[in-house]
A and B are shown apart, each in its own frame.
Chain A
Amino acid sequence: MPSNKSVSDAPIVQFTNCRILRDHQLQREDLWVREGKILNPEKLFFDEKGSADVQLDCKDSIIAPGFIDVQINGGFGVDFSLATDDFKSGIDLVSQKILSHGVTSFCPTLVTSPPSVYHQILPQISVRNGGAHGAGILGAHLEGPFISKEKKGAHPEHCLRTFEAGAFQDLLATYGSLDCVQIVTLAPEMRRSSEVIQELTSRGICVSLGHSVANLSQAEEAVQHGATFITHLFNAMLPFHHRDPGIVGLLTSDKIPAGRRVFYGMISDGIHTNPAALRIAHRAHPKGLVLVTDAIAGMGLAPGRHTLGQQVVEIDGLNTYIAGTKTLSGSVATMDTCVRHFQEATGCSVETALEAASLHPAQLLGIEHKKGTLNYDSDADFLMLNDNLYVQATYIAGEEVWRQDASGM
């Protein structure tokens, strides 16, 4: 059909025979894409008198926004906390490989490390769009070193720090630069954390609470100063107690400032959190749940020993422990596995499971106007999935960047 575009000459692609996730529901609608963005077909039809150049039959797939992983420490042998000579090619490798897991944007995460490591690595991370080369990088997630000794988990104790002396200046000196940092995880019970949280928030950096022994009021104060996220809920924090719910209590706290929402990361690999606990959290605060992988270098590789920053971890099936201990350290789960497991464990709808990995992380980072949805004018980062939520194809900016081949690899 001849198209008659007055606004742009770029080709228009119409994805038909699919169900798209829009307005929190799977709707039987076509998806229209032009110049890397989702296009409004009604406007195209009436205002531009345009029509599609290419029509693709999606064979009744589900089309969902691409997944966003805000906590991933590495994978396929690459460790984001290890300052190697070929760090850049490492991050490129991971960003390319996770396309097959449905991840179209991610925050490379660095665990607690000595300042020299941050100074070497951070300048090599840059915010960039995704494409055929790999998933987009939204910015780094710095998990530590300003965390609690009692809840360090897999983080090395000798690298933990406080910012008692110089507050924000200490933090800046430790990291070196905050240019491409998107999220910082810290323990809010540390002295002067409020100023630090305020300063980070004013710079547009998302502050997350984790690896902490804070009680509920300390956590609420942190939220009032700007914190909006909880790092892997339940793990590395005080357990829920009915007279002091701790950080977990933020899910139902009534002291959250109006108009704000607290989000919380969940590693739904079946190991980090018992499904019953996952259900409790989900039911208490469904709109805040953000699926993360917390994947480490061993993800995607055979079982055995791998590094995680300054530590050595051992992988045995889906379990990953600090070598020689029973301390969990990250996971080897992939994002699509987490989405499927979350859906099974909670019995939630397909839409809810998909939104926990796309819409909610986008809302957390304040980018839902361009990522995390299939709304008109959003970036056309999306996935084709079958009914069992297995990713069949990944698209970034409207271009296919990965497809499941027929052999099922």
Chain B
Amino acid sequence: MKLIILENYSQASEWAAKYIRNRIVQFGPGPGRFFTLGLPTGLPRDHPESYHSFMWNNFFKHIDISPENVHILDGNAPDLQAECDAFEEKIKAAGGIELFVGGIGPDGHIAFNEPGSSLVSRTRVKTLAMDTILANARFFDGDLSKVPTMALTVGVGTVMDSREVMILITGAHKAFALYKAIEDGVNHMWTVSAFQQHPNTVFVCDEDATLELKVKTVKYFKGLMLVHNKLVEPLYSMKEMGAERSQSKKPYSD
């Protein structure tokens, strides 16, 4: 695992963005496909809190992505399990996930894989924990009855199949989950801990999220920042990659 510790939310976001950019450029565009993780069911597509709206407003409308390359689980599909199975097939057809980017819940969940989710689970319908419902209430004017109770999500196993995993964790309220994820054992009650067994994981966090970690851990990884920063500097660009394609280097490994 690489643990990248930045000072605050903005810096953590920027580092992650640069890293993702470099990875995209190295991957080489072409049949680059993008999958998005999970969608609470029952929300109409144009509901302002639906993942469709969120992804559109925060990502898709700012970039030139072809709509055919966007695959979001459809929480309004008639047969939800079939929708999930089809999603797994599409991932396989696209050649597998190259880089999975996600966050972590305060209860240590990855995607909507709530505590108790199998660490080898696949894309499926999942009931949401009360913690998650409470955390999401703020998007529904604090009205608990309006928050969806089920979600379609990629499974822990699905994410583990990716060639690389990046988790973004910011804020003091996530600190305990981060501790459980990297300093404690692999445990299905803290599903992010599954990535301890993944060959290529990057955790990007801010200072506040490290509050529950051992000082030793934090110092160790901060000490590695010189090396880790080489992953984001230089920033590659598509135009230059054409010339360097023959000499493109693999990113540093652990």
Contact = CB atoms under 8 A, between A and B. Distances in A.
Nearest to A30: B61
Contact of A51 (B46, B56, B67, B72): B67
B66 interface: yes
A47 B61 CA distance: 15
B66 A2 contact: yes
B53 interface: yes
B62 to A, nearest CB: 10
Nearest to A41: B61
Contacts of B60: 45
Contacts of B61: 30, 41-42, 45
The binding surface of chain B is classed by DSSP as helix
A91 to B, nearest CB: 42
Interface in A1-58: 1-2, 4, 30, 41-43, 45-51
Nearest to B62: A30
Contact of B56 (A1, A2, A4, A46): A46
Given A42-B46, A43-B46, A49 B52 contact: no
Interface string B42-73: 00011000001100110011001011101010
* Residue among A2, A42, A47 with max Cβ neighbours from chain B (10 Å): A42
Nearest to B64: A1
Interface in A111-155: none
B53 A42 contact: yes
Nearest to A32: B61
A51 B52 contact: no
Interface size class of chain A, counting residues whose CB lies under 8 Å from the partner chain: 10 to 19
27 contacts: A1-B64, A1-B66, A2-B66, A4-B68, A30-B61, A41-B56, A41-B61, A42-B57, A42-B61, A43-B46, A45-B56, A45-B60, A45-B61, A45-B67, A45-B70, A46-B52, A46-B56, A46-B67, A46-B70, A46-B72, A47-B45, A48-B67, A49-B67, A49-B68, A50-B67, A51-B66, A51-B67
Contacts, number: 33
Interface size class of chain B, counting residues whose CB lies under 8 Å from the partner chain: 10 to 19
A105 B143 CA distance: 44
A1 B60 CA distance: 14
B44 to A, nearest CB: 11
Nearest to A55: B64
A46 B66 contact: no
Contacts of A50: 67
A220 B53 CA distance: 46
A1 B72 CA distance: 21
Contacts of B70: 45-46
Contacts of B64: 1
A359 B34 CA distance: 41
